[in-house]
Amino acid sequence: DTSFDCVQFVITEEGIWKGWIDCSGYKVRLSYHKGNKEMPKKKKKYAHPNEITLVYEIHDIETSGSAEHYWMDVKTADIVEKDNWVSGASYQVFALPKESPYDGARTIEINPADSTASPFGWHDTNGEDGAEYTDTRGNNCLAQEDADANQSGGDRPNGGNNLEFGFSLDLNNSPDQYRDAAIANLFYWNNILHDILYLYGFDEASGNFQENNYGRGGKS
């Protein structure tokens, strides 16, 4: 198909996604193959603030080491969201919709910040590309321990320059033995709440909680 600029083949455990991709506009045509037989595409639901859209989930693995992750509208073929699984922050947490360890194991969530609610990620404060903090601080939240209950100071886990917040967790130990994992989970959930509420209207003009409003109204 000469109207598309790129061809990608993505091998998974179940088969091969074969996609013709317009690199400039992210329009995608896909067929899913297992062996020589074309299989039905697998669909998922993607939540917008006011609707749920049926999408295809696409993994675009490149030889350069990039790993783009797309959600494509089934009806229009528009890309409704994308992120990169290689670059950006990652958090090993009990992720949404889990409410507690009883709901399942932790997963590694990569770049979970919403691009509208937190356009520069969760570790930014100056409104420019690049994180200002490599620990559990950012524009929406500061998460740290307060074992002495003085509302001051306290340790924060550090994800390093790659913002990798994956810490050991054994719930059979005392809580002080998995403090970093607990604080990383707290940081994740406070930011998730900020981003979801933002999409439902609790934004800067409505008085939400941010250090920098990025020029979008309200009071910092």
Tell me the C-alpha distance between 7 and 167, whole Å: 38
Rounded to an integer, the average pLDDT of 128-151 is 91
Predicted confidence (pLDDT) per residue in 177-219, tens digit: 999 999 999 999 999 999 999 999 999 999 998 999 999 988 7
Predicted confidence (pLDDT) per residue in 33-47, tens digit: 444 444 334 445 444
What is the 8-class DSSP label of residue 196? H
Rounded to an integer, the average pLDDT of 118-125 is 92
pLDDT at 9 (0 to 100): 39
The β-bridge partners of 8 are: 19
Least confident of 21-30, 132-141, 210-219: 21-30
**CA 194-54-75 angle, 5° bins:** 125
**CATH 3.10.170.10 domain residues, the chain:** 90-206
Tell me the C-alpha distance between 106 and 170, whole Å: 12
Please give the C-alpha separations between residue 212 and each of 141, 168, 192, in angstroms, as whole numbers. 11, 32, 17
Classify 11 as helix, strand or coil.
Answer: strand
Where do we find the tokens 């995608």? 28
Tell me the C-alpha distance between 104 and 200, whole Å: 27
What DSSP element (H or E) covers 109? strand 107-110
State yes or no: pLDDT of 98 exceeds 90.
Answer: yes
Predicted confidence (pLDDT) per residue in 143-190, tens digit: 999 888 887 778 999 999 889 999 999 999 999 999 999 999 999 999
Tell me the C-alpha distance between 58 and 106, whole Å: 23
State yes or no: pLDDT of 70 exceeds 60.
Answer: yes
Where do we find the tokens 């992210």? 26
pLDDT at 66 (0 to 100): 45
pLDDT at 61 (0 to 100): 44
Tell me the C-alpha distance between 100 and 1, whole Å: 48
Buried-state track 127-139, b at ≥16 Cβ within 10 A, e below 16 = eeeebbbbbbbbb
Tell me the C-alpha distance between 18 and 61, whole Å: 12
pLDDT at 186 (0 to 100): 97
**SS3 annotation, 52-92:** EEEEEEEEEECCCCCEEEEEEECCCCCEEEEEECCCCCEEE
pLDDT at 24 (0 to 100): 41
Enumerate residues 6+ apart whose C-beta is below 8 A from 60: 8, 10, 19, 21, 66, 67, 68, 69, 70
pTM exceeds 0.85: no
Task: Let me know if domain 90-206 sits in CATH 3.40.50.2300.
Answer: no
HSE (side-chain half, CA atoms, 13 Å) at 167:
21
